[in-house]
Amino acid sequence: MLATPDTDTEADPAFRADVLAGLAEPTPAIPARWFYDRRGSELFDDITRLPSYYPTRTETALLEEIMSEVDALSADNCAVVELGSGSSTKTPLLLRGIQPKAYVPVDISGDYLRESAAVVDKDFPDIHVYPVEADFTKPFALPPEVAELPKLGFFPGSTIGNFVPRSGTDLLRHFRDILGTGARLLIGMDRVKGIERLLAAYDDPEGVTAEFNLNLLHRINRELGGDIPVDAFRHQARWNDILSRIEMHLVAKRDVSFSIDGHSFSFARGSSIHTENSHKYGPRGGRVLLLAGGWTPLREWTDEDGDFALILAEA
């Protein structure tokens, strides 16, 4: 008998399907969620520390500033459910500020999940930690231990901006279904601002965002057996005004052909692969999005310059 193949080295079938289907579209595009392999997650951490990438530090400072107000508006002994916990530094701020009874980090990456759960468990001995390994965009169950506790969803980072409004409202409704009527949600949204600052945040002079974007092609080569000549593509950030979003693209510097797992693709010079949307909301637009998703805004905070908003809403 032959030994069974080593499944650890097999690519995620969903990644393969998204790449092959996305590149064959008339407007080639790959969903932004595939940026985050180990290298991509490291590069994103580097992005959050760049001088031109204002969102992370603005949101973190804002969260610190408003914590006592959030605490006053939150139920005692609640369960904080963090949607996509990643390697967040914002979590301890919230936990220290409102002292919940339980913390439920939800993340698709088991590694990150165990890491953040262990850190919280050690630093907050009074908080029960119930990690859930799940894709927060798909149905999942909350641990039965938190069933009776009031829920506070936490969705920072402006991750909602990655979703086109139609799927963004679907996602908010999905959160409502999971957290239940009466739950609260603290959500971060990046605001519309001057185009120069937006473009600089997504095309830093250090070239980290370019590397983050191009890493997707390396990942395809690594995991899906592609032979993409990565140096034939360059990073581009565009402001799409009518749709109020930053788009990231990988633009072909020359005519280029490659194959992925037996499938052939050709890109003419100047054509692109659309790799990310990052929607920016004005005050009204952000609240309408929440309302359409089944959440009533209760309070909204921004930093002095109005660069970033945190909104507390109720289901």
* Count of other CB atoms within 10 angstroms of residue 37: 18
Using Cβ positions, the residue closest to ligand AVJ within the complex turns out to be 278
- 109 binding ligand AVJ? (CB under 6 A): no
CA nearest neighbour of 138 among 103, 171, 185: 171
Give the integer Cα–Cα distance in Å for 90 and 283. Answer: 23
Of 40, 55, 100, 105, the residue at the interface with ligand AVJ (CB under 6 A) is 55
The 8-class DSSP code of residue 30 comes to: -
- 161 binding ligand AVJ? (CB under 6 A): yes
CB nearer ligand AVJ, residue 58 or residue 278:
278
Of 34, 136, 202, 258, the residue at the interface with ligand AVJ (CB under 6 A) is 202
Bridge partners (DSSP) listed for residue 309: 189, 302
Q: How far is the CB of 29 from ligand AVJ (least distance, A)?
A: 15
- 150 binding ligand AVJ? (CB under 6 A): no
- Written as six digits, the tokens of 271 are 């054509």
CA nearest neighbour of 49 among 182, 196, 201, 162: 201
Of 162, 169, 215, 272, the residue at the interface with ligand AVJ (CB under 6 A) is 162
Q: How far is the CB of 135 from ligand AVJ (least distance, A)?
A: 16
Give kind and range of the element (H or E) at residue 277. Answer: strand 272-279
- 47 binding ligand AVJ? (CB under 6 A): yes
Contact 307, 191 (CB under 8 A): yes
Q: How far is the CB of 164 from ligand AVJ (least distance, A)?
A: 13
Of 88, 158, 169, 272, the residue at the interface with ligand AVJ (CB under 6 A) is 158
- 107 binding ligand AVJ? (CB under 6 A): no
Which of these ranges, 12-20, 58-66, 69-77, 152-160, lies near ligand AVJ under the rule CB under 6 A? 152-160
Give the integer Cα–Cα distance in Å for 90 and 73. Answer: 18
- Written as six digits, the tokens of 54 are 């204002």
- Written as six digits, the tokens of 283 are 């005050």
Which of these ranges, 93-101, 140-148, 159-167, 178-186, lies near ligand AVJ under the rule CB under 6 A? 159-167
CA nearest neighbour of 188 among 91, 74, 79, 77: 91
The residues binding ligand AVJ (CB under 6 A) are 47, 55, 157-159, 161-162, 202, 209, 276, 278
